[in-house]
């Protein structure tokens, strides 16, 4: 792969990761589904403990839909994305993301801030990069009433 081809492929993967986050913000999980391979696998840890282990695209869509339904607003801000393995049809990378979720609870709006590290494996199928494996590590989480500084 030439240096220019490498840059093009890395940009395509970044767009995949950013598209996933943009769709999460509008809760369009149906559109997120095709960003995963049919056998996509997502494992999520919150505070080091297993939260979910999803083993195919349909399960990912079902669980993500149910999870996001709990929240009034959703916001993702992607940070650094480092691709440390890249071939013509496979890549591995790490993406950092700040995830903000709000919900109504007891008449108050609660904001949840999560600082997440995604360890991803991507594969290229029919000319498109897809997420095959994602390990989501919610490293730091903080919840409080919106508008109140802890």
DSSP string, 101-135: EEEEETTEEEEEEEEEEEEEEEEEETTEEEEEEEE
Asked: is 3-145 a CATH 3.40.640.10 domain? The reply is no
Percent of the chain with pLDDT over 90: 96
* pLDDT at residue 150 greater than cutoff 70: no
- pLDDT of amino acid 147: 82
Average of per-residue pLDDT across 122-133: 98
Instruction: Tell me the sheet residues that pair with 112.
Output: 101, 143
Q: How far is CA 14 from the centre of its chain?
A: 12
Q: What are the angstrom distances between the C-alpha of 116 and each of 33, 58, 86?
A: 20, 23, 22
Query: What ranges do the domains of the chain cover?
Result: 3-145
Report the predicted TM-score, pTM, of the whole model to 2 decimal places: 0.93
User: Mind listing the pLDDT tens digit for each residue in 14-35?
Assistant: 999 999 999 999 999 999 999 9
């Amino acid at each position: 792969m030439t240096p220019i081809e490498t840059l093009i492929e890395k940009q395509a993967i970044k767009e995949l990761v950013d598209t996933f986050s943009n769709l999460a913000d509008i809760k369009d999980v149906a559109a997120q589904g095709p960003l995963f391979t049919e056998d996509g696998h997502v494992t999520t840890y919150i505070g080091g403990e297993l939260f979910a282990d999803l083993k195919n695209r349909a399960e990912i869509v079902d669980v993500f839909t149910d999870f996001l339904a709990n929240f009034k607003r959703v916001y993702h801000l992607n940070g650094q994305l480092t691709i440390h393995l890249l071939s013509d049809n496979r890549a591995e990378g790490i993406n950092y993301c700040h995830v903000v979720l709000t919900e109504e609870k007891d008449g108050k709006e609660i904001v949840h801030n999560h600082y997440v590290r995604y360890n991803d494996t991507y594969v290229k199928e029919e000319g498109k990069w897809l997420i095959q494996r994602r390990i989501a590590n919610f490293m730091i989480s903080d919840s409080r009433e919106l508008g109140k500084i802890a």
